[in-house]
Amino acid sequence: MFYSIGEQSLTLAARCPHFSTRSCVTMHTVGLCSQSNFYATKDQSHLCPQQCVGGNVHPRFHRWESSVKFKLSPICEGVLAVPVLFTSSQFPSPRQADAIAPEGLGFLAAAADSLGVPANSPTNEWPYNLLSQRAVAFGSGRIARAGDPVVHDYDPAELERCHQFAAEVASRLRELPVRSLTLGDMQPFCLPANRNDPAPTELTPDVVRAAFRDTLHPWVDIRIEPLSACSARDIFQETSVCGFKRADVQRHNKIWAELTKWYTKHPDLGSGWFVTVENALWGYRPLRLIVGLTRAGSLVGAANVGEPFGQAARVSAIEWRASMLDMDRPGIWKVWMQPGTAQLRARVILRTFGPDVLGPWAEATAADAKKLKPKERALFWRVAFRQLTPQRTLSLSPAWGTVHRCIGRGGLAQDTSGPQAFFWMPLGENDRSGEWRYTLNPDEARTVATRLAAIDATEFRRRYDNLRATDYAPHMSEADFQATLEVFQSVKELYQQAAGHSAVVVELTTRMDEELQAETAGSGKATVKAEKNPSGKRGKSPKAAGVVTDCIPNNEMLAPLLQCLDNLGDEDGTEWPRTDLSIATVRYTCGTIAREGEEVEHRHDSGELERCRTLATEAERLLKALVPPHDAGGPYLAFFRTANTGDPVPASFSEEFVRTTLFNGTINPEVGVSVEPLTAEAVWYDGSAGAATFVDWLRGQPGLHGFAFIKIGLNEDSGGASHPRLAVALTDRGSVVGVCGYVIWA
């Protein structure tokens, strides 16, 4: 498809008496006469070394003959380096131009190679390649599918110009002193237009696809940038200039600037663009084009096929494709996928709400959820959300996943780039309760409605048919299309209605009905537990004369410690996933701390329990005015632990007592514990009057001893971001009373 002088030009340069082998000779004219004899001179007289016309001067240009200027530079004594160019007599004849090129696709063949990834269906021409495996090239440079009808109605002069321009661009780029480390040389490239083809004035992805006659992957990303807006480093990558001499870098940039100017000033081109054709999900080798549009609409310039995406990591195409599919549907999404297939097994529910409903509801629910243990909050939100009454509900079949592929880019990953991006995630965001949600505000819902309205049944059919080039191909059928179209039409109608009412749209992904029924028992138990104390109001231990034995877990009692249980979404399967306290921590109405599910003995003197609660409440009141900045910590809240009757009474606090008795083994073993004297400066950094008043008050209470300031979590290298701080004392019964706050080290 492409032609060059190759080694013949070197032979010519070496034997031509008009060229010096010891110095640089610039801007000479080379050509080829009709009898295939090279000629070259320092001027424009077209001397022929072979004297093929009986003399040294050609009287005229022969058919398909033209002159092309280029630069020569010596690479060693006696040898000249000559850029590879198209030569005039190597332009194909009309018959050759209309025929399939015997040399095939040339350098573009690499873009049609799937590198061992097999086709997943007979109709898939792109197993893992961005150029169709059915693509063929014609002598003119035109590309099409084998067997497709191709009209050859180009102007021979336009074809000649295309080859000349392509040769010029490629030769300029080959002069770069520093080549990319991951891309090969740019090769002459042109896709000539027919006489009656409409000539675009701007290069767009649709123009590129049309020039390639739909041989590019249907879901490929085509990015187009004006040459004036990008640099050589953008195209040849930063690594191409790192570590080289400054002079080389300067020349590199100069050549690139000259090429940009050449395109801009050229009377038949006017503009140049850098085009990337890539999508690591669907192809292993990208295409790079540096091209312009002629007045006739031909695409001309230089191009190459990039090295495989995974080459730097030495990963095969099969391995790289598998990793890309994992990124398209991350491991957290696999719960919604049919094992070993590209199909969903989840049910998606769309609900619309008035804009004045969700805001107040979310505020109230968030306030209640803060009073719960972190691991219970997500389920609490789920229960609360189900109690809301929507304007409309639409339950979708698993065909929703196929709809998203059709309106996205063939895959499931969220598409938030480009002018036609949709706002939603196909499966929502994990709310850590077994369901996933995604919310679109009224403006986003209107945008989605507008974009869905632009896709009619014909366009949707085209998009569905393009799934043949994805991993979904084996599941395609007419019945599948009809089911997918039905879901699409219902989604389209819902968004149009939501846009008309300025509604909020919530996507909810959940399991299929049969799976939900199988989980009803477990989730029902959890729901009852989460709703047992939804308001966060303090539970009271039953009082009896003498001993209290029926203490119960109470979420509000956890308030001083809740922040120190929050793993901020970092779930690693351990009891302390970046937390100071176990995520299984519970606290009883008597103040006892333990792990959820552990058997705990309760044998408290009722008077001692009331005494502890009263002292702790007053301690919180005294420190109420001391509130740290929100990013520094939390306020001091009432804290106590009532001892069992008969428990030994320690003389003072120790690390062992704090870990084993006070916190019952729930402190992260990797975090430190420090017991310090109780002072106003320990309670508050500047020893303010409020802190001093509290310390004096606590020390003045009868029956108290062992006054201490306890720090849990001494640095930011282990545990979580929030660390408990306790200002406490021991009673004469062995109970602990005082306050608890926390500091934040993120």
* Total Cβ atoms within 10 A of residue 17: 7
* Total Cβ atoms within 10 A of residue 209: 16
pLDDT at 93: 57
pLDDT at 238: 44
* pTM metric for this prediction: 0.60
* Helix or strand (DSSP H, E) at 170: helix 156-174
Among 629, 626, 656, 657, CA closest to 641: 657
Residue 56 falls within a domain, yes or no? yes
Within this chain, do residues 695 and 554 fall inside the same structural domain, yes or no?
yes
pLDDT at 405: 86
- List the 429-430 sheet strands across, edge first: 392-396, 346-353, 504-511, 436-440, 429-430
Within this chain, do residues 110 and 54 fall inside the same structural domain, yes or no?
no
Phi, psi (rounded to 5 degrees) for 739? -135, 160
Within this chain, do residues 50 and 135 fall inside the same structural domain, yes or no?
no
Among 487, 508, 491, 489, CA closest to 499: 491
Phi, psi (rounded to 5 degrees) for 180? -65, 145
Residue 320 falls within a domain, yes or no? no
Within this chain, do residues 74 and 101 fall inside the same structural domain, yes or no?
no
Within this chain, do residues 436 and 575 fall inside the same structural domain, yes or no?
no
* Total Cβ atoms within 10 A of residue 245: 11
Contact 391, 353 (CB under 8 A): yes
Residue 562 falls within a domain, yes or no? yes
pLDDT at 644: 95
Locate all alpha helices (DSSP H) within 554-677, ordered by sequence: 606-622, 655-656
What secondary structure letter does DSSP report for 660? Answer: I
Q: What is the CATH number of the domain that holds 361?
A: 3.40.1760.10
pLDDT digits (tens, 9 = 90+) for 694-731: 999 999 999 999 999 999 998 766 788 889 999 999 99
Phi, psi (rounded to 5 degrees) for 398? -60, -10
Among 593, 558, 572, CA closest to 720: 572
Residue 448 falls within a domain, yes or no? yes
Residue 50 falls within a domain, yes or no? yes
Q: What is the CATH number of the domain that holds 155?
A: 3.40.1460.10
Structure-block tokens of residue 466: 């393009």
- Residue where the block lists tokens 């004849």: 93
Contact 596, 585 (CB under 8 A): yes
pLDDT at 687: 77
Among 281, 534, 538, CA closest to 412: 281
Within this chain, do residues 466 and 507 fall inside the same structural domain, yes or no?
yes
Within this chain, do residues 583 and 727 fall inside the same structural domain, yes or no?
yes
Within this chain, do residues 553 and 506 fall inside the same structural domain, yes or no?
no
Nearest-angstrom CA–CA distance, 247 and 227: 23
Contact 227, 259 (CB under 8 A): yes
**Residues forming beta bridges with residue 14, ordered by sequence position:** none
Rounded to 10 degrees, the C-alpha dihedral 152/154/160/165 comes to -100
Question: Residue 355 sits in which domain range?
Answer: 338-526
Strands (E), 607-713: 633-641, 673-677, 704-712
What b/e readout covers 692-707, taking b as 16+ CB neighbours within 10 angstroms? Answer: eebbeebeeeeebebb
Residue 331 falls within a domain, yes or no? no
Contact 211, 191 (CB under 8 A): yes
pLDDT at 695: 96
Among 407, 360, 366, 605, CA closest to 504: 360
Contact 31, 69 (CB under 8 A): no
Q: Kindly give, in sequence order, each residue whose CB lies less than 8 Å from that of residue 448, ignoring residues fewer than 6 positions away.
A: 422, 423, 424, 440, 495, 505
Which of 491, 526, 561 is the last residue in one of the domains?
526
Residue 507 falls within a domain, yes or no? yes
* Total Cβ atoms within 10 A of residue 134: 14
Within this chain, do residues 131 and 269 fall inside the same structural domain, yes or no?
yes
Q: Kindly give, in sequence order, each residue whose CB lies less than 8 Å from that of residue 723, ignoring residues fewer than 6 positions away.
A: 564, 580, 671, 711, 712, 713, 714, 742, 743, 744, 745
* Total Cβ atoms within 10 A of residue 735: 27
Contact 337, 311 (CB under 8 A): no
Within this chain, do residues 367 and 402 fall inside the same structural domain, yes or no?
yes
Contact 548, 602 (CB under 8 A): yes
By CB atoms closer than 10 A (0-12, 13-18, 19+), residue 500 is: exposed
Within this chain, do residues 555 and 579 fall inside the same structural domain, yes or no?
yes
Contact 726, 561 (CB under 8 A): no
Residue 129 falls within a domain, yes or no? yes
Q: Which residues of the chain have pLDDT under 50?
A: 1-90, 181-182, 238-243, 419, 512-544, 746
- Alpha carbon distance, N-terminus to C-terminus of the chain: 61
What secondary structure letter does DSSP report for 644? Answer: P
Within this chain, do residues 76 and 132 fall inside the same structural domain, yes or no?
no
Please count the structural domains in the chain: 4
